[in-house]
Structure 1
Amino acid sequence: MKILPEISRTLSEYLLIPGLTTEDCTPDTVDLGAPLVRHRVGEEPGIRVATPMVSAIMQAVSSPALAVALAQVGGLSFIHQNQLIEDQAADVLAVKRHKAGFRTGDVTVAPRTPLGEVARLLADTEQGVAVVTENGEADGEFAGIISLDDFHLERHGAGASAGNRMRGRSGLVTAPASVSLSEANELIWQHHLDVLPVVDGGRVVSMVLKSDYQAHKTYHRASVDAEKRLRVGAGINSRDFKDRIPALVEAGADVLCLDSSDGYSVYQAKTLEFARETYGEDVFVGAGNVVDGRAFRYLADAGAAFVKVGIGGGAICTTREQKGIGRGQASALLDVVQARDAHALETGVYVPLCCDGGLLSDSHMAMALAMGADFIMLGRYFARLDESPSRKLQIGGQWYKEYWGEGSRRAQNEARYGQRGRMAFEEGVDGYVPYAGSLYDNVERTRAKITSTMISCGSTNLRDFHRDAVLVPVSAESFKQTGAEVQLRRPAVDSGE
């Protein structure tokens, strides 16, 4: 037995001391960009994100819809692995079909398809336009396009065929596959188009929509690959990795991550070895979770693309209660950051750290980044939003969204926790979180808060923030002052003073 000479501390137990805010420290000059994968010191990483936020590998969080939205604002989502391999690969492919400014034809119909079916498909996929091909298949001969503006079910009849209302190929302005986004948008404005089909031979490969023009300007931080497709990650486990990794790589996953509550194991090392021997440096696999320098070094030496830090700190996690395993998130981060920096000095390779858990507020996120985390993984934060896959429901006049842990009985995540058949105990709970609206609004607000914190500390990028941040532990009395209760004024009885 060994007892560490420390108190296990959380992110709540520290405050940042302001640094000198210079004229260079403005919101426009602050760069929140961070490396996502290992790289040589002084060189650019293979994957970088403009917003240092990724979504947790959870059923209640990381759907294709959330992955698209998060990539658009500069982050990245990890599609969960607690599902059939083919289903997870299909989710990854659904995200990769989204090219920045270019859309793939998610809905393809034949000229004979009834208008009622066209309307249903467009509604189910939240698309505004469908591609019409001769055989109704995505790789079929291009015949035209049809949108909800081209027909009205009561006027034209649900049983009428799409061919009667579609805009035929001969009357459409199209562009070749080599067209750039700026060229495509120029054609749209020049010819007063709402949609521009991009054609390769007789097949539509993508579409550019006028409605996406402003979106392209808005999402200038989007996480995209070399082909301008949105980036997406995927979770894997140390059981079926020999089958799951190839399927996810084939689907186009940009980065993979081992999904485990405790990553300090030979099983994770074997999974990393398989990926390295099979794909060399072309496939990135993150690992974890860990809470000390020993475990970080083990996974870094095994080839982890990044390492996740945190055991038992998640809002939905009960690992500490059930198994007595874990560490305060601040203590874990400070230990692992020291090990990461020593490893970089020794090997010349920088292995990014992901803070996973213990992040109850935006200020905690800023604190984790100040302590040395490169990016943060969030479950509860994203589960509250419109784009998460869980149900939205009203309880006592308040709107909530369902949220459950991967260690809960509801998840039945055997690949993550190894309890076969009936679960002997749970390491997570099943509940609700207050509904918080749009991902776009929430992430923008969080970015603004972190940016403001960095400005107060005199930093304009995360590397400087890591180096220059000054922190101080907070006493119990400080907590009392921070949390002093104030009766808030209610707008309904505001006298207007």
Structure 2
Amino acid sequence: MAVILSEVSRTLNEYLLVPNLTTEDCTPDVVDLSASIVRHPVAEASPLRIAVPLVSAIMQAVSSPRLAIALAQTGGLSFAHQNQPIGEQAAMVGAVKRHKAGFRHSDINTKPTATLGEVSRLLKAAERDIAVVTDDGTPTGVFVGLIATSDFHPQRHDLNDTVESRMRPAGTLVTAPPTISLPDANTLIWDRRLDLLPIVTDDGRLASIVLRRDYELHKQFRNESIDTDKRFRIGAGINTRDYRDRIPALIEAGADVLCIDSSDGYSVWQHKTLRYAVEELGGIIPVGAGNVVDGRAFRYLADAGAAFVKVGIGGGSICITRDQKGIGRGQASALIDVVAERDRYAAETGVYVPICCDGGLLADYHMAIALALGADFIMLGRYFARFDESPSNLVNLDGQLFKEYWGEGSQRARNVARYDQGETELPFEEGVDGYVPYAGSLYANVARTTAKLRATMVSCGATSLPDFHRDAVLVQVSQQSYAQNGAEVRLRSGSSGGGQ
């Protein structure tokens, strides 16, 4: 007969943290949120760490070079989605890797023959006030000038006139060679009162740009996720079908870490993919795997060489796998089981394999619960989909702003490689297509979320994630505990609970 587990499947929402002693040395400014991303010997540091334990989901509605750069600036990591041709995904990774900290790949470009109307629409859509002009309108073309919203006015100038008629020509502008250092570039920006400094090669081609506003961001975010060449880090999703072609292309593009993107990771197909990366490619790039909900599946993937293991099936806000297939487990129960197996595996083998909590996170405090239960870092879809930097459209519904958001198991995404249902198309959906309330800038929201995490850890007497894993005390919550918090209070205008 079937095995029936005696435990109840519990969610993150069913637990609260019990405060520990907060000492004089335990303050938010000393809390270290940095997290291991890939496997490492127990007594050694992980070769890949991030300053904040937040990564973006491998989803079309979430992944974009713009979001990847912003998240890397704030200390996290993004994963380029794999539900696209290999060349397009590699280009997405390459677009991020072409950025160095402070040296930006130009993403707002136009040709001198374009019209003022065209560039006006371009700037408005990108919410920018300046565009780089190159001979062919590409980010690597011959640099010929700059045009900003201050260079023309729609009511004063004919919008059918060319960009060339109103741009500031290259010969009149301050530029710098690719050999310039970032400190020298920033000095030039401030001394010459520039908003944008073009970096131009000896043959006149645009190499990159340096923005004044990036200097301010760098001063605000000092824990950027960068590689040894000071390029922003980015991960990428892969599947178990075309991995022999996709992985080498992503390595060539500069990806820092990969992750098998699947709704159910306990499969021989993931084992084969991992063995290819470890044995045939020599482990030159770490590959995470998942998703799983118990210790058996964790050990299976860890033994195969998984760099990290993702936990969670059916708990995502956009996922309906449980409704369609009856498969899954409450996210808290899944984490408790997998964390216990991770710790046993580390004790037996001397190798620590990080755990990523993916799904079941509906509020900021759920992240703290997940980390307290033992997760090393957290993968978020809906959370990041709400921000300016996500690639989905901003829409107005009945006077309220929303961002489009859809699951990879929806008919809109048609991610057959992620949801292997034995067909070349999806015969049924495991995700839905909808909207999430617009929340503004990633920078402000991540800062708020990490402030909450630090404050929570201080209340629990922890100043690092390993301390939090070891010392956190949690208690199950009854329905009445929540009912007690539900007394109606009329809030003053502008007051907010501050949730997601």
TM-score (norm 2): 0.90
Q: Distance in 1 between the 2:5 and 2:113 partners?
A: 72
Is the CA contact 2:11–2:333 (under 8 Å) kept in the aligned structure 1?
yes
Q: 1:99 to 1:306 in 2, by over 3 A?
A: same
Deviations 1:104-133 (A, max 9, x none): 233455555555554455455555444445
1:327 aligned residue: 329
Residue 10 (structure 1) aligned with residue 11 (structure 2): yes
Q: 1:360 to 1:393 in 2, by over 3 A?
A: same
Report the residue type matching 1:442 in the other structure: N
1:30 aligned residue: 31
Q: Distance in 1 between the 2:303 and 2:209 partners?
A: 44
Deviates more, 1:102-111 or 1:377-386: 102-111
Q: 1:437 to 1:188 in 2, by over 3 A?
A: closer
2:430 aligned residue: 427
Residue 51 (structure 1) aligned with residue 52 (structure 2): yes
Deviations 1:423-442 (A, max 9, x none): 33222222332332322222
Q: Distance in 1 between the 2:76 and 2:385 partners?
A: 15
Tell me how large the CA RMSD over aligned residues is.
Answer: 2.5
1:144: Cα distance to partner?
4.2
Deviates more, 1:335-344 or 1:64-73: 64-73
Summarize the alignment of residues 204-219 of structure 1 with structure 2, pairs less than 5 Å apart.
Answer: 204-219=206-221
Summarize the alignment of residues 187-202 of structure 1 with structure 2, pairs less than 5 Å apart.
Answer: 187-202=188-203
2:411 aligned residue: 409
Summarize the alignment of residues 165-184 of structure 1 with structure 2, pairs less than 5 Å apart.
Answer: 165-184=166-185
1:376: Cα distance to partner?
0.7
1:280 aligned residue: 282
Report the residue type matching 1:188 in the other structure: I
Equivalences, count: 491
Q: Distance in 1 between the 2:100 and 2:75 partners?
A: 14
Report the residue type matching 2:278 in the other structure: R
Deviates more, 1:100-109 or 1:165-174: 165-174
Is the CA contact 1:97–1:104 (under 8 Å) kept in the aligned structure 2?
yes
Summarize the alignment of residues 331-410 of structure 1 with structure 2, pairs less than 5 Å apart.
Answer: 331-410=333-412
Residue 71 (structure 1) aligned with residue 72 (structure 2): yes
1:67: Cα distance to partner?
2.1
Is the CA contact 1:354–1:374 (under 8 Å) kept in the aligned structure 2?
yes
1:185 aligned residue: 186
Name stretches of at least 5 consecutive residues in structure 1 with no aligned partner.
493-497
Q: Distance in 1 between the 2:43 and 2:299 partners?
A: 20
Deviations 1:198-246 (A, max 9, x none): 2332233222222322122122232222222222222111111122222
Deviates more, 1:410-419 or 1:173-182: 173-182
Q: Distance in 1 between the 2:92 and 2:115 partners?
A: 28
Give 3-state SS (helix, strand or coil) of 2:431's partner.
Answer: coil
Q: Distance in 1 between the 2:311 and 2:236 partners?
A: 18
Is the CA contact 1:106–1:125 (under 8 Å) kept in the aligned structure 2?
no
Give 3-state SS (helix, strand or coil) of 2:78's partner.
Answer: strand
Give 3-state SS (helix, strand or coil) of 1:354's partner.
Answer: strand
1:188: Cα distance to partner?
1.8
Residue 291 (structure 1) aligned with residue 293 (structure 2): yes
Residue 444 (structure 1) aligned with residue 473 (structure 2): no
Q: 1:393 to 1:71 in 2, by over 3 A?
A: same
Q: 1:59 to 1:15 in 2, by over 3 A?
A: same
Give 3-state SS (helix, strand or coil) of 1:415's partner.
Answer: coil
Q: Distance in 2 between the 1:450 and 1:197 partners?
A: 39
Is the CA contact 1:384–1:400 (under 8 Å) kept in the aligned structure 2?
yes
Report the residue type matching 2:395 in the other structure: L
Summarize the alignment of residues 480-495 of structure 1 with structure 2, pairs less than 5 Å apart.
Answer: 480-481=483-484, 483-491=485-493
Q: Distance in 1 between the 2:375 and 2:86 partners?
A: 31
Report the residue type matching 2:16 in the other structure: L
Deviations 1:141-178 (A, max 9, x none): 54444444444566564455555544444444333323
Q: 1:177 to 1:44 in 2, by over 3 A?
A: farther
Deviates more, 1:316-325 or 1:20-29: 316-325
Deviates more, 1:463-472 or 1:410-419: 410-419
Residue among 472, 476, 483 paired with 1:473: 476
Is the CA contact 1:79–1:233 (under 8 Å) kept in the aligned structure 2?
yes
2:85 aligned residue: 84
1:495 aligned residue: none
1:358: Cα distance to partner?
1.2
TM-score (norm 1): 0.91
1:295: Cα distance to partner?
0.8
Report the residue type matching 1:324 in the other structure: G
Q: 1:184 to 1:398 in 2, by over 3 A?
A: closer
Q: Distance in 2 between the 1:393 and 1:138 partners?
A: 29
Q: Distance in 1 between the 2:135 and 2:398 partners?
A: 52
Is the CA contact 2:95–2:105 (under 8 Å) kept in the aligned structure 1?
no
**Identity of matched residues, %:** 65
Deviations 1:13-36 (A, max 9, x none): 222121110111111111111111
Q: Distance in 1 between the 2:115 and 2:3 partners?
A: 72
1:328: Cα distance to partner?
1.4
Q: 1:393 to 1:46 in 2, by over 3 A?
A: same
Residue 456 (structure 1) aligned with residue 444 (structure 2): no
